[in-house]
Amino acid sequence: MERWKKEYDRIVVPEKGREKMEEAIMRAKESRKREKRIRIIRRLGGAAAVFAILMILPNTSRTAAAAMQQIPVLGDFFRVITIREYQVDEERYQADVKVPEVIPEDTGEVPKETVQQAKETTDAINFDIQKVTDELVEEFKNTMEEYEGGYGDIVVDSAVLTDDEKWFSLELILYQGAGSGYERHRHYTIDKTTGRQAVLSDFFGEDYVNIISEAVKEQMRRRMAEDESLTYWIDYEEVPEWNFESIAEDQDFYVNKDGKVAVCFNEYEVAPGYMGCVEFIIEQ
């Protein structure tokens, strides 16, 4: 993703294309930017009394970590606890990082083989969360050390989007700011009946890439026709290399509370940065 963003930043835009894009961007840029900054400031507000503090909750006692935070059980099968925090509140640098971990609960009502599969699935999910979070924090710490006069802030947070009888979907929110901001989302969805992490082919078969890609294109065109403030990179003749062609084989998605698949794209993937992270509901 970072490589893609860097390639985007290096693209030289034709003057005609730039004027067209900037006209759309200016209609929404300022309000979107204010909304994002307010959201980040609210998240960082809890650390206002902390000055350059690094706090690591012990990984050796997940039960103690959960008890300290009084985190309730989320549903009958999974719960989410914060196992580690990293907070910084300085004049030029701020960080509010809460690393979640998903834990399957053996309630006695779920088959043992499903519980075992769920443990393997959550182990893989937790490893991925830990990896991406560590990378973001390490980059932030290196920046603070190398650029004392610079600016930067990071936020790592999470939210349970769906937790019903069938599906459990967790969203990991990653924000990185240095002048302008860049927000990414990662989603993890588990089928409670099997304990396995869901994949798009479970819903749309082996041809899921083509099916979903065409549905996304149709929604992009319809949304822009209905709202001129929206811009997606589709049918963009001035810079055709920006045009969305296809989802990735491992495209990010989650299952919403209505049981529908929401395909997700991070900033700059399929639209200008002012659009933020975008998603499309794909009907089965």
Determine the residue type at 164.
D
> 38-90 pLDDT, tens per residue?
344 444 444 333 333 333 333 334 444 444 343 333 347 899 999 999 999 99
Distance, CA of 187 to CA of 23 (rounded, Å): 32
User: What average pLDDT is seen over the chain?
Assistant: 80
pTM: 0.75
Confidence label for 200 from pLDDT (cuts 50, 70 and 90):
very high
| CATH 3.90.640.20 corresponds to the domain 2-42+201-282 | yes
Residue 73: both structure tokens together: 């059980």
Burial of residue 249 (number of CB atoms within 10 Å: 0-12, 13-18, 19+): exposed
Residue 106 has pLDDT above 50, yes or no: yes
Quote the pLDDT of residue 179: 67
- If one compares 195 and 182, the residue with the highest pLDDT of the two is 195
CATH code given to domain 50-197: 3.30.565.40
Tell me what the mean pLDDT of segment 168-174 comes to: 98
Distance, CA of 105 to CA of 264 (rounded, Å): 28
Most confident among 97-111, 189-203, 227-241 (mean pLDDT)? 189-203
CA distances to 38, 183, 253 from 201, in Å: 38, 27, 12
Residue 228 has pLDDT above 50, yes or no: yes
Distance, CA of 104 to CA of 61 (rounded, Å): 16
Give me the DSSP letters along 165-227: SSEEEEEEEEEEEESEEEEEEEEEEEETTTTEEP-THHHH-TTHHHHHHHHHHHHHHHHHHH-
Of 271, 279, 278, 280, which Cα lies nearest the Cα of 5?
A: 271
Q: What residue segments make up the domains of the chain, in order of their start?
A: 2-42+201-282, 50-197
Helix or strand holding residue 95 (H, E): strand 93-104
